[in-house]
A and B are shown apart, each in its own frame.
Chain A
């Protein structure tokens, strides 16, 4: 008699693959939201597994704020080509130019909040009825209540009180015309699980996740990368540090940690001993105690 037990990583993998196949079976026009960050790379990797030997049956959607790390863009382009999937880019710059979105002003301005406008436009233009994303419930307290199949109304809004109960492994993806779902196959994964999976599957990532030398300034308790998109005061000193990023957002809001972790093994060990949450360095979350909850209600990712 064998021991029929799966390790936790294998069980999470099986759950995520099941969800991805469920999206393919239940929806007419699903898409995969791909930012080139580690979570969406994991989702894409799981999609490759779920439909092997066929191709991944979803187009990839990238909401491009124009404030990207060049390394992320390069990775995105190569990855999409390797998979042979279609890439659809929603441009925040276009939303600003057309007047649909208004850019923030000031020293700490970011395009994080107005991404929502572009995302909802892109969903509407292409008529997507499901968008698969890499969000996890452990990231932030507003996400702890998120469903695998997260229902959004015709305005793209998320109402925490109106989420459908999900029981066993039966998922209800039925919706009215104009409404859509966000689907999160990594719901039950933690940051640690993602890194362990990347390690055990040996998944390629953008170089930014590994320790590297970079020009940075100290701002709000984190090392912010120097780029053409941030305003630097005379008082701020540009220094070169060996840092790595735990999470990738826009280059304007993503802080790095000083680190020597330049291999996956070292990163896993570093994550295990971390004393800060992964999003602790995300300026977009620090604005208020409920910033994530408020943005989700607006239709944010």
Chain B
């Protein structure tokens, strides 16, 4: 890491934003090579990691160090040459810190993609320049759109095998745009790269001087992520109540939680749901003193002027902007478990900090995630299926549509018997 700024300098290193992105694509698209290249060219690889990779490459009889091996995971995977799960990787440049949710691209791993995508600001979708837009590309894009990832970067990889052809790049771009017009993605960019040789990943390509856009790393460093959180609708799900019960803080009650969206300030008129009582924010507290305004995704603790009975699962909102309490919930569901939903089975539904018993009342349709076709005949749900359902809960939940709010619009279903997380849902 060579930088003009001293790393301990507050104005530099301590003042970075965090960007979370997912990478979708199969082993054959060169995804591991791309991640390896990003880590290597941004100088995020340590010598001992590199030594290990060089040794493994040699053992495999390769002529050069295979950067893809940097992202190799567990023994089982190395033996079978597959990736089992979401792996998280980290790197930083002087401008930003990055968290990569690296998800395998095989068809049976939709669940992992959905998992990785749920917290991402950005999705990298890899396309092989020789193959163009294939079924897998469409699947990844549909998942990115369903999960409302704010930014999508289509990396047209292996340009070295397509003679670095501008014409080929433009063809793929047009093909993708024609298909993506049916999706709900706000920000799509295209970058022609060669992960193997490093063209346009961190360093500009000399082989593609016709490309006038930014390199991948520059794009990641400069995406505008300030608007990715909802700062309009005030939603504060209460996680727990802090009651010190000592002499100094005898009557103290702090409502602790993480702000889902919106901005809260002392003096704000608020309503507590589901009870509907109104009060004012007395203070927003922290160990470092009182906070003048709090916004997503801060974890805070607030006191109210009035003594109201509030507990985990309640939500504090602004009096003039409330979520919708719902017991009949329409949602897009991604099934994550190898056992499909049993008829009339009851699940535990988790939504923000609240729990309720729930039943899938109706399966409206299954979504074919290569064609967006809605299949109303086939109601047989298996792992990795995405479907639209109607869920009935034992108590009203305080929901917003997922499109408006990724936190108050998302839910999971937990099997009562096995305790496994069986489905992830986006409220329509």
Which residues of A are at the interface with B, using a C-beta cutoff of 8 A? 2-15, 17-18, 21-22, 24-25, 48-55, 137-138, 141-142, 144-145, 160-161, 163-170, 172, 174-176, 187-188, 190, 192-193, 196, 199-200, 264-265, 268-269, 271-277, 280, 289-290, 293-294
Determine which residue in A4, A15, A274, A277 has the highest number of CB atoms from chain B within 10 A of its CB, and name it.
Answer: A4
Distance of A6 Cα from B89 Cα, bound (Å): 21
Smallest CB-CB separation from B88: which chain A residue? A137
Known: A8-B97, A280-B48, A289-B52. A141 touches B73 (CB 8 A): yes
Known: A15-B297, A54-B243, A170-B410. A268 touches B88 (CB 8 A): no
Known: A4-B263, A8-B16, A21-B256. A142 touches B231 (CB 8 A): no
Distance of A176 Cα from B416 Cα, bound (Å): 11
Give which listed residue, A6, A7, A49, A167, contacts B412 with CB less than 8 A. Answer: A167
Min CB–CB distance B186 → chain A (angstroms): 19
Min CB–CB distance A93 → chain B (angstroms): 32
Q: List 21 A-B contacts (CB under 8 A).
A: A4-B295, A8-B16, A8-B97, A15-B299, A18-B258, A54-B249, A141-B72, A141-B74, A142-B74, A145-B87, A160-B74, A167-B119, A168-B119, A170-B410, A172-B350, A172-B419, A172-B421, A192-B7, A193-B97, A272-B3, A276-B47
Give the size category of B's interface with A: 35 or more
B428 within 8 A of A: no
Known: A25-B239, A280-B46. A192 touches B75 (CB 8 A): no
Give which listed residue, A53, A170, A175, A272, contacts B411 with CB less than 8 A. Answer: A170
In the complex, besides A54-B242, A268-B8, A289-B52, 20 extra interface pairs with C-beta distance below 8 angstroms are A2-B293, A4-B296, A5-B17, A6-B17, A7-B15, A7-B17, A8-B97, A24-B240, A53-B287, A54-B245, A137-B90, A144-B87, A145-B84, A160-B84, A165-B336, A167-B119, A170-B410, A172-B414, A172-B419, A264-B8
Contact B8 A265 (CB under 8 A): yes
Stretch at the interface among B23-31, B109-117, B268-276: B109-117
Contact A52 B90 (CB under 8 A): no
Give which listed residue, A2, A8, A165, contacts B115 with CB less than 8 A. Answer: A165
Distance of A252 Cα from B369 Cα, bound (Å): 55
- Contacts of B291-323 to chain A: CB distance below 8 A: 293, 295-299, 301, 312
- Given the complex, which residues of A lie within 8 Å of B84, measured CB to CB? 145, 160-161
Distance of A22 Cα from B354 Cα, bound (Å): 12
Contact B229 A4 (CB under 8 A): yes
Contact A50 B256 (CB under 8 A): yes
- Given the complex, which residues of A lie within 8 Å of B252, measured CB to CB? 53
B207 within 8 A of A: no
Distance of A139 Cα from B412 Cα, bound (Å): 29
Contact B239 A18 (CB under 8 A): yes
B285 within 8 A of A: yes
Distance of A5 Cα from B301 Cα, bound (Å): 19
Give which listed residue, A50, A53, A165, A196, contacts B248 with CB less than 8 A. Answer: A53
Distance of A52 Cα from B352 Cα, bound (Å): 22
Distance of A192 Cα from B3 Cα, bound (Å): 15
Min CB–CB distance A178 → chain B (angstroms): 13
B85 within 8 A of A: yes
Known: A14-B258, A53-B248. A165 touches B112 (CB 8 A): yes
Distance of A13 Cα from B298 Cα, bound (Å): 9
Give which listed residue, A145, A167, A193, A290, contacts B424 with CB less than 8 A. Answer: A167
Mask of B16-57 contacts with A, CB within 8 angstroms, 1/0 = 111000000000000000000000000000111100100000
- Given the complex, which residues of B lie within 8 Å of A49, measured CB to CB? 286-287
Min CB–CB distance A273 → chain B (angstroms): 6
B192 within 8 A of A: no
Contact B47 A172 (CB under 8 A): no
Contact B85 A175 (CB under 8 A): no
- Given the complex, which residues of A lie within 8 Å of B287, measured CB to CB? 48-49, 52-53
Distance of A168 Cα from B410 Cα, bound (Å): 8
- Given the complex, which residues of A lie within 8 Å of B419, measured CB to CB? 172, 174-176
B407 within 8 A of A: yes
Contact B75 A293 (CB under 8 A): yes
- Given the complex, which residues of B lie within 8 Å of A271, measured CB to CB? 7
B76 within 8 A of A: yes
Contact B8 A199 (CB under 8 A): yes
B324 within 8 A of A: no
Distance of A6 Cα from B97 Cα, bound (Å): 12
Distance of A137 Cα from B85 Cα, bound (Å): 14
Distance of A193 Cα from B6 Cα, bound (Å): 15
- Contacts of B239-263 to chain A: CB distance below 8 A: 239-240, 242-245, 248-249, 252, 254, 256-258, 263
Min CB–CB distance A197 → chain B (angstroms): 9
Distance of A52 Cα from B248 Cα, bound (Å): 12
- Given the complex, which residues of B lie within 8 Å of A53, measured CB to CB? 242, 244, 248-249, 252, 254, 285, 287
- Given the complex, which residues of A lie within 8 Å of B410, measured CB to CB? 167-168, 170
Contact B115 A14 (CB under 8 A): no
Contact B16 A192 (CB under 8 A): no
Known: A21-B256, A137-B90, A272-B7. A9 touches B240 (CB 8 A): no
Min CB–CB distance B254 → chain A (angstroms): 8
